[in-house]
Amino acid sequence: MANAFRRAGAEAGIIRGLPGARGLTGLVIPGVGSFSTVPKIAAALGGKKGIASLRMPVLCICLGMQALFCSSEESKGTAGLGILGGKVKKLGGNARLPQLGWNRVSQTKTGTGDPLFQGVKNNEHFYFANSFAAFPSSQKCVLGATEYGQMFASAVRAGNFWGVQFHPEKSGKAGQQIIRNFMAICSRRTAAVPSIDMIGGRAVRLKQGRQGTEEYYGNPLALAKKYEKAGFPLLHIVDLDAAFGGKSQLVLLRKISSQCRGIQIQWAGGIRNARSARAAFSAGAYRVVFGTAVARCPKLVRQSVLEFGPERVWASLDFAGKPPMLMIGGWKQGTAIGLQQAVELAKSCNIGGLIVSSVDADGMGGGPCLPLIAKARKLTLLPLVLAGGMRNPADAKAALANGADSAIIGRALYNEKTKIGEWACLQKE
């Protein structure tokens, strides 16, 4: 299996246990053997806590796919990983067992749109070697089905976990396409980052950050699931309650992170000390974003960077006026700090990246402030994200051309004026 990924151009290594592993962008769990070995797989992943904390894409093959389920007739009394509901049963009918050879995979409607099957024809042949097969309790997770004695699920997905009963490494060109698709999923870094602003547990957009201009757009969890399904690897969430000095929405963060395991959450709003950063990480955030603290107490930001690492601690610099001056306290308080001084302050905190926001452009539908990101790019080599005013992919491309590494998209995705796929496939050239 490792050689198949290496032939496709991946840097693939073999590990015996996940705890302590670093620098992985994806994980493959192959399997040739009995369901009785599933507890060893669970132990290698760090048990229930380790499995629950996995955010990278995971491809489970053959026995690896069967391990995703709760139990199997092959080894009664052995618990599966329980990531998917349902059972693994011995194939019925008059077919000879084991199934050894080529068979078709009929893609479901969900499978046709899934990134794992991009470029793979429906009813394509793949190589199988199995006597047992998975029968999920819900068909929503099924990407593909195969008939051998009876119909069974041959490809499934649960968040960041994909499972295939066939062996892609033995399946010719179609199998190679599956491998390349999974590599693309692992390396995917879309230049568009969807954003959800929250007030009182609802998704909202404000105009220039002013309270009293709220427009509500429904359930944040439903939106997060939608963005995860579209293939976005990162979601920017702003807790406006905490930003405005109210109660933090960590309960909702915990719910989103537990139900949307295929998307990483960048959490902003009210992160002003190490304690609030720890609370956000504990609730499932992948990254926290400091704002006001960068200007008021950069020492606290530096402490969090030391504790959690620069990749997981970023800063947001929000500007308004001409010339642009830094805004703090949920965009309510102006400062005498200009762009250059603000960027130098953020860099002194050793953060991993910067979000640069135009308060004047935010929520106004007039397009992004391109000069702002262009000037910021001249001041730093850190990863830069531009927020505010994105109307369509053309705006985002213009931001990239002016120095941004990615762009945050809010209202444009809420309103669905452009197809979500146009944003999800946006890459920096």
- For each of the chain's 429 residues, which pLDDT tens digit applies? 999 998 888 888 898 888 656 667 889 999 888 999 999 999 999 888 888 777 788 999 999 999 999 999 999 999 999 999 999 999 998 889 999 999 999 999 888 878 889 889 999 999 999 999 999 999 999 999 999 999 999 999 998 899 999 999 999 999 999 998 888 778 666 688 999 999 888 888 776 666 666 777 789 999 999 988 887 888 999 998 888 878 888 999 999 998 988 788 999 998 988 899 999 999 999 899 998 889 888 999 999 988 888 878 999 999 988 898 998 876 678 899 999 999 999 999 988 889 998 888 876 677 899 999 999 999 988 889 999 888 888 999 999 999 998 999 988 888 777 788 788 777 665
3-class secondary-structure state, position 156 = strand
3-class secondary-structure state, position 150 = strand
- Spatial separation of the C-alpha atoms in residues 239 and 277, rounded to whole Å: 13
pLDDT of residue 363: 66
- Candidates 34, 24, 26, 2; CA nearest to 169 is 2
192-424 CATH fold = TIM Barrel (3.20.20)
Residue 62 appears among annotated catalytic residues: yes
Q: What is the pTM of this model?
A: 0.63
Residue 141 appears among annotated catalytic residues: no
Catalytic residue selected from 169, 186, 228, 369: 169
Catalytic residue selected from 60, 124, 167, 228: 167
Is cis: bond before 98, omega within 30 of 0? yes
For tokens 């980052």, the residue is 193
pLDDT of residue 261: 80
The DSSP 8-state label assigned to residue 185 in this structure reads H
- Spatial separation of the C-alpha atoms in residues 387 and 197, rounded to whole Å: 12
Residue 125 appears among annotated catalytic residues: no
Cβ(68)–Cβ(261) under 8 Å?
Answer: no
Write the DSSP assignment of 47-93 as a string of letters: HHHHHHH--S-EEEETHHHHTTSSEEGGGTT-----SS-EEEEE--T
The DSSP 8-state label assigned to residue 344 in this structure reads H
Cβ(387)–Cβ(238) under 8 Å?
Answer: no
- Can you give the residue ranges of every domain in the chain? 2-187, 192-424
Helix (H) or strand (E) holding 341: helix 339-348
- Is 2-187 a domain of CATH 3.40.50.300? no
Is cis: bond before 323, omega within 30 of 0? yes
Name, in order, each residue with C-beta under 8 angstroms of 12's C-beta and a sequence gap of 6 or more.
2, 3, 5, 6, 28
pLDDT of residue 310: 82
